[in-house]
Structure 1
């Protein structure tokens, strides 16, 4: 199959550098004017700098011209004030002049910023002030690294992007099924499917891009079954030379919030050994192995990590693993030894988001402790300190629907989890599709819960630091 058409389209799109509009809030003109005086926007200092610069320019010009303009200016002002004092009493003329001055200042301020906003947002969506507040808040958000794959990671990112722009998604590249698998075999590229989902989730105009990237061709010789997003990334890979550059270029073109990084640029294949002695090769086959997995690995073994991924982990304020398929989405990233080592070395809040339901053939009859033990056994490190679990059970009709597929809720065995040295963060983060009766993590609820956990962990750390400092002072004074 030729993807020359997509390559040309991607090249043209890259040259255009256009971004998609997003709707913004609406404020009254008066409120918007006064909000420019609010702290934290870092605009007032520059407006003051400009004003001082204008005054100094006028003063310098006047001195250069031997003060003549200032002399005549003072004469005109003096006569005007003298006239106003004779005609209109000072208790009337003062407020009138003062009010006119304020009106001109605010009117000019409003019109000038309005013209700037029209240039930046010709669709009339977010105002310039909205954009400054929004971007400032997101840019001050914590540096979050999310590790996983599949639809679970994209769901997580869809919620987290509302709290921080400092997001890094580290994505597995072991997928060998569907459109990704075909492109992997035909073109020798790393599978783009999971990366495509994450890019779409982090885009500002998420709904439109999700529909575009997830669109699958239903006809066409060689195109049928492929998603547009996979073809887009494949074309980008051929243009830029590798998947890492392709993802960076695509992220710029689509103006995503955050970064998406493959765990490794090595072409890896997963394998799993089962309790009955069988060895299953391939990510898509492991998910339907119908047996208990006792060991998982990849070929070639110990693939090198992407340096940018290691750097992101080293700078992270918060590390999140999951949700997603335990072996094929979460653990597959940890089979890159440098990633597991980098996570283990960090002393920051680290949490694992456990799946709500078991996956037939991969985690049949698994409890929360089983999930944790599998991760510990696969990489040999304690990579997280807490586990997030769903608090309330699904509805009876939903459970019946899953039971027909041999899938059941992941049971929380509290004592076993505590013996593994993990704290439990129990919260309601699921939602049920009323049509299909399938469960999924609600992006907003999940992100809100995870940010709450992070802030609570930060407060606990601060409290411990204060106590240690107090103890040190007491010892010193004694």
Structure 2
């Protein structure tokens, strides 16, 4: 008998669970939306309550100041009004009716207010204001990240990092002397805008559209042919503001950039490389075409001064990332600025190097991961980072064949040599292949790996669990 009662009770519990699960699935979207406004950390509810309290106190204070007469009259008027209503309509009807009208007016007013705010902020179709506010609060609580490099590698990693923090500073090399950037540098006497352009576009809110716009190259026109719109835009902003740093900041504000982009130096820097066969190659664009192994890399002028804002960002950083990008023409040029490498060396925060996936003909032919690390240590004369993140998955056979035709191969992870160099290895699947057989870092996977490692080494707890998914 008792067993039968227990079975019946268990069946009832199961039915109740199914019932409430069904009810929760049918919860109106509007209810879920309003529940989000009750989430802590928005800094809205507390200020709204404070405003209401302040209004009531101001009214009360004014009444007291003039001798309480208005308060007595108001209380008397309300008392007489309530008595009149009670004589016409019983309180069992008038009370709930007044409560319902009050709630309706409150919800209506708040809805209209939020609608007006949403319209002004131009929240996109299908996006709720509360979701944007929650994302804004989460990103502003993110760690202060400094990413150092250049080229497409740095812009790739920035696309991933901006989903976890708005406190990002990209420090970009200004040694580019080829293509549109080189022409503008020679003709206008400005910093080469190419790498800066890529990073600004990567951090922009409307990244896809802005990237297409900034990468657009003019195919005709006297003097325009070969130039990208983004390079011309930054050149114009530099001419208007009179200062490269202010030009980048103004451009970032106009384009709603999440984070900031800083040049490593404001000096007119030119790279040079000495090859193992004794040749000296001048110019960043010429080094990859030298057909030899690089022995030493340097710049003219020697020891260029760093941008003060860049040094301040490194000193205040919670997390420092080097790379990915061309080893000798994107990553190391930033470290040729003495103040930057000294600031990184003195920092006590987690520091990591994101190694390239494939070797680069003319720069890193036959290089292993340990060779990349040795090159950075040799150029800096000291150890700058604690760990290295490497790709653990091999590209497809089709991709390997295509790269082999260009004399490029996957960067081999020589674990024993890396360990002897005192670096920790973070191996993960961080590769993306496109339909043309090109290999790039997957910006989402790479960012997740970097932030997870940072969280483990630094105890960072503010990342939302749902923002980091399994690799």
Which TM-score band (shorter chain)?
0.7 to 0.9
Q: Does 310-319 or 127-136 show the bigger shift? A: 127-136
Partner of 1:459: 459
Structure 1 residue 398: deviation in Å? Answer: 0.8
Aligned to 1:14: none
Report the secondary structure of 1:129's partner residue: helix
SS in 1 for 2:182: helix
Mapped pair 1:116 → 2:150: no
> How many correspondences in the alignment?
434
Q: Give the whole-Å Cα distance in 2 for the aligned partners of 1:69 and 1:271.
A: 83
Query: Post-superposition shift, 1:444?
Result: 1.2
**SS of 1:398's equivalent?**
helix
Is the aligned partner of 1:319 residue 2:320? yes
User: Deviation at 1:236?
Assistant: 1.9
Matched, 1:247 2:264: no
Query: Equivalent residues in 2 for 1:37-436 (5 A)?
Result: 37-63=38-64, 67-79=68-80, 81-82=82-83, 94-121=95-122, 126-434=127-435, 436=436
Aligned counterpart, 1:17: none
Shift of 1:116: 2.0
Q: Matched residue of 1:387: which SS?
A: strand
In structure 2, what is the Cα distance between the partners aligned to 1:122 and 1:272? Answer: 50
Gaps of 5+ in 2: 1-27, 462-471
For residues 444 and 127 of structure 1, the distance between their equivalents in structure 2, rounded to whole angstroms, comes to 24
- The root-mean-square deviation of aligned C-alpha atoms, in Å, is 2.1
Provide the C-alpha distance between the structure 2 equivalents of 1:103 and 1:30, rounded to a whole number of angstroms: 15
Find the counterpart in structure 1 of residue 448 from structure 2.
448
For 1:73-105, what per-residue CA distance to the aligned partner results, in whole angstroms no more than 9, with x for missing partners? 434543554466667665665444433333322
Distance 1:109 1:460, change over 3 A: closer
Shift of 1:451: 0.9
1:55 Cα deviation after fit: 1.7
Partner SS, residue 198 of structure 1:
helix
Of 230-239 and 71-80, deviating more is: 71-80
Greater alpha carbon shift after TM alignment, 438-447 vs 87-96 = 87-96
Give, in whole Å, the separation in 2 of the partners of 1:123 and 1:340.
42
SS of 2:384's equivalent in the other structure is coil
1:469 aligns with: none
SS of structure 2 residue aligned to 1:101: helix
- Listed one character per residue, the Cα deviations across residues 257-292 of structure 1 (whole Å, up to 9, x for unaligned) are 111111111111111111111111111111122211
Gap runs ≥5 in structure 1 = 1-26, 462-478
Listed one character per residue, the Cα deviations across residues 159-212 of structure 1 (whole Å, up to 9, x for unaligned) are 111111111100001111111111112122221110010011111111111111
Give CA-to-partner distance per residue, 1:96-134, whole Å, 9 cap, x none. Answer: 443333332222222122222222227656444233212
Residue 33 of structure 1 contacts residue 110 of structure 1 at CA under 8 Å; is this kept in 2? Answer: no
- Asked whether the 8 Å contact 2:281–2:287 carries over to 1, the reply is yes
Report if the CA contact (8 A) 2:123-2:129 is conserved. no
CA separation in 2, counterparts of 1:28 and 1:75?
A: 44
Secondary structure class of the residue paired with 1:284: coil
1:437 matched to 2:433? The reply is no
Change (3 A) 1:244 1:61: closer
Moved more, 59-68 or 376-385: 59-68
Shift of 1:250: 1.5
Q: How far apart are the structure 1 equivalents of 2:107 and 2:187? A: 62
Q: Normalising by structure 2, what TM-score? A: 0.87
Measure the CA separation in 2 of the matches of 1:135 and 1:357.
36
Helix, strand or coil for the counterpart of 1:426? Answer: strand
1:22 counterpart residue number: none
